[in-house]
Amino acid sequence: MLAVVLLSLSLGTPAPDRADADSRVARRTRFADAAVFDVVGGGSRPRTWAGRVYGGYPWLGARGQVGVGGRGLAVGVDVEAARLRRFRPALLVALRWVDRPRVRLSGELLLGWLVQTGELSRRGPNVELQLRLAFPTGRAAPYLMLGTSHTLLTDRTTVITAAGDTRHLAFRHEWMPRATIGVAVAITRQIGLELGVDLAWYDAPRRTPSIPGLHVGLAFGGGPR
């Protein structure tokens, strides 16, 4: 046995224990750059891209992003809808603050436009800040998203009198804090699934918190991973 070990060392071959440890580390980090982890953890490395489509109650939507710089800097588009009555397309910019094989923390800025149809018709510019935290371990990654969404709404009032019509414009602010807790699973580095529970508080703090929602998403991506 001693002769085998000495022969391995002389040939530059790692000892069995070292080889097993390296193999375990490789298995744990093999999917660290999977596309689904880019989606739930935020950001993309240069020359990589990722996308996601998801559906559930009440939210459904799609996202696409591409890495454009260091520190996981990414740009893209994000479209979401709630019960097919509330739509918000947006441009996004994401930056990774912590980028490690087993911890990922990112911040995102979304600039969009809100359109809500029905009896409570609303529309106006929207800005949202999101914080994404993911813990990739092997093929799975529990994740958390915290967001604060702000919309500037315009109310138009028309007063009709004998002297003529008078129109008034009034502006008000709609705030919607939100959160998602879920888990992502990498099938391959390019394809994965994610499941999340969605919490939102429409028009906070005047109204009561909304009923939690649930969604299932399909993520995909490409580039050097």
Question: What digits encode the pLDDT tens for the residues 17-63?
Answer: 665 555 555 556 688 889 999 999 999 999 999 999 999 999 999 99
User: Looking at the structure, do residues 148 and 105 belong to the same domain, yes or no?
Assistant: yes
User: Looking at the structure, do residues 131 and 203 belong to the same domain, yes or no?
Assistant: yes
User: Looking at the structure, do residues 62 and 131 belong to the same domain, yes or no?
Assistant: yes
Give the number of domains in the chain.
Answer: 2
**Mapping DSSP to helix (H, G, I), strand (E, B) and coil, where does residue 43 land?**
coil
Residue whose token pair is 């003529």 = 164
User: Looking at the structure, do residues 105 and 166 belong to the same domain, yes or no?
Assistant: yes
List pLDDT tens digits, range 184-213: 999 999 999 999 999 999 888 888 888 999
User: Looking at the structure, do residues 89 and 16 belong to the same domain, yes or no?
Assistant: no
Q: Which residue range forms the structural domain that includes residue 99?
A: 32-222
User: Looking at the structure, do residues 89 and 10 belong to the same domain, yes or no?
Assistant: no
User: Looking at the structure, do residues 94 and 22 belong to the same domain, yes or no?
Assistant: no
pLDDT at 24: 56
User: Looking at the structure, do residues 201 and 96 belong to the same domain, yes or no?
Assistant: yes
Query: Whole-angstrom Cα distance, residue 51 to residue 6?
Result: 50
pTM: 0.82
Q: Which of 105, 152, 144, 104 has the alpha carbon at shortest distance from 128?
A: 152
pLDDT at 9: 43
Q: Which of 187, 137, 103 has the alpha carbon at shortest distance from 27?
A: 137
User: Looking at the structure, do residues 10 and 116 belong to the same domain, yes or no?
Assistant: no
User: Looking at the structure, do residues 69 and 6 belong to the same domain, yes or no?
Assistant: no
205: preceding bond cis by omega (within 30 degrees): yes
Query: Whole-angstrom Cα distance, residue 117 to residue 200?
Result: 19
Query: Whole-angstrom Cα distance, residue 76 to residue 150?
Result: 20
Say which CATH number the domain at 205 has. Answer: 2.40.160
User: Looking at the structure, do residues 155 and 52 belong to the same domain, yes or no?
Assistant: yes
User: Looking at the structure, do residues 26 and 130 belong to the same domain, yes or no?
Assistant: no
